[in-house]
Amino acid sequence: MSVWDMMCQWPGKIYGGETGDDACEHYYRYREDVAEMKTIGLETYRFSVSWPRVLPDGIGKVNAKGLEFYDRLVDCLLEADIEPWVTLFHWDYPLALYQKGGWLNRDSVDWFGEYASVIGEALGDRVSHWMTLNEPQCFMGNGHLWGSHAPGDKLPMPLALKAMHHALMAHGNGVLALRKHCELKPKIGWAPNCSAAIPVSESAEDVETARKDFFKVSSGTFFNNSLWSDPVYLGRYPEEAAEVFGADWPDFDDGDMTLIAQPLDFIGYNCYSGYLIKASPNGGSESIAAVPGEPVGTLDWLKVMPDSLYWASRMFAERYGPKPIYITENGLCNTDWVSSDGAVHDPQRIDYISSYLQGVKRAVSEGIDVSGYFYWSIFDNFEWAEGYRSRFGLVHVDFGTQKRTLKDSAWWYRNLIQTNGESLDVKEYDVNLLVADPVR
């Protein structure tokens, strides 16, 4: 059991009362799923290990069946010439450890280190790319400050900041454990999330305003980029953090910061959207209000802002480089269904990916080392508190029958991979031609 299994039992917490008990059944259908990945031509597959599946109590005895699943999955991926990229923690905190205090307990640093050691020992002879934590802003902010995600806590800010600090220390301990236990030399990063600050013009004033806003520390929220990434990459919290949080800001030991700032091999970040901002006449900043009817995904936080990946990559590179940058998540949630012709037509997703990758292309052309891009997600899946209503996948999943159907976007993406990005412009490729594709 994880904290999400717990939350799924609470009435009104998950859309439609849905649960992740079955989801897309990847556990049983992984061979079929890897075959679909091979059809699309994926060269890498980023997946997350479920901590309580491997260690039901969070520490101690290993569940052999759970670990063997990931062992088989890695082998299956390698047989298909798909490189596995493994994320250690993607929000499903072991319920047994939560009942011992969870992230509020300083022992969580050691608990995570033990878990990372188990996974590194088991998979590190074949896996070389790793991420520790996925979107810590979300599992801390939504899960521990506002209570909308598991475990549903609404902690006072001093305790929430304490939990945040322990999670960052756990990240550092996970890095140490992977470097110790992996047989292959590991390349390690993590995957925080961000909303890109996009200047309304490329004047020096607007760009600097956007940069400052992107990295500013705001009270009452954990959706701060520098609050999380400065400790990891620079070995210190932002100077303004103590002032912004005031009396809520706890004291931290120098040894803690040394642990947090373990050297990483790449900069990873998840980014789906952004916001427009400009310099104001008085030297401050001014956010641009949304225009009614602006394009948005089926989750209202996902505003379609094609320049997001360019500006996020540029700002991370300027502050934390030089390191390779990997966009570890980016995608569009939509209301996709199987049409009467048996296909799933999702032109909005194709346009979304194309327009966002134009920003990546620009970043690369300017010398920013964007070394990889991961679309979220390969399959429609359980989207936490949103249940199954919003679909991000390139592959449609009928959750009643578990039938997989490659969407038009999957076929377009396949062509994008085959041409190494030369077919990035939607106009250069007619999706209708896919109907006659021999692989299909």
429 marked ligand binding residue: no
Q: In which residue are the tokens 């990005």 written?
A: 421
111 marked ligand binding residue: no
191 three-state secondary structure:
strand
Task: Give the single-character DSSP code of 421.
Answer: T
Please name every residue paired with 278 in a beta bridge, in sequence order, or none if there are none. Answer: 286
Structure-token pair, residue 381: 């899946």
Q: How many CB atoms lie within 10 A of CB 388?
A: 19
Alpha-carbon 333 to chain mean position:
14
Structure-token pair, residue 39: 């059809």
272 marked ligand binding residue: yes
In 114-179, beta strands by DSSP E: 129-134
Distance CA(298)–CA(76), nearest Å, equals: 33
Distance CA(84)–CA(42), nearest Å, equals: 11
Q: In which residue are the tokens 């940058």 written?
A: 325
Task: Give the single-character DSSP code of 84.
Answer: E
Distance CA(288)–CA(202), nearest Å, equals: 15
Name the nearest CA neighbour of 95 among 58, 148, 65. Answer: 58
Alpha-carbon 164 to chain mean position:
17
Distance CA(7)–CA(152), nearest Å, equals: 7
* Contact in structure between 267 and 320 (CB atoms under 8 Å): yes
In degrees and rounded to multiples of 5, residue 144 shows phi and psi of -120, -15
Q: In which residue are the tokens 């990063």 written?
A: 189
Distance CA(369)–CA(74), nearest Å, equals: 27
Distance CA(150)–CA(406), nearest Å, equals: 31
Q: What's the N-to-C CA distance of the chain in angstroms?
A: 39
Q: Which residues are catalytic?
A: 135, 329
Element (H, E) at 199: strand 193-199
10 marked ligand binding residue: no
Distance CA(394)–CA(373), nearest Å, equals: 14
- Cα atoms in the 13 Å half-sphere on the side-chain side of 103: 30
Binding site as annotated, residues for substrate: 90, 134, 272, 376, 383-384
Binding site as annotated, residues: 90, 134, 272, 376, 383-384
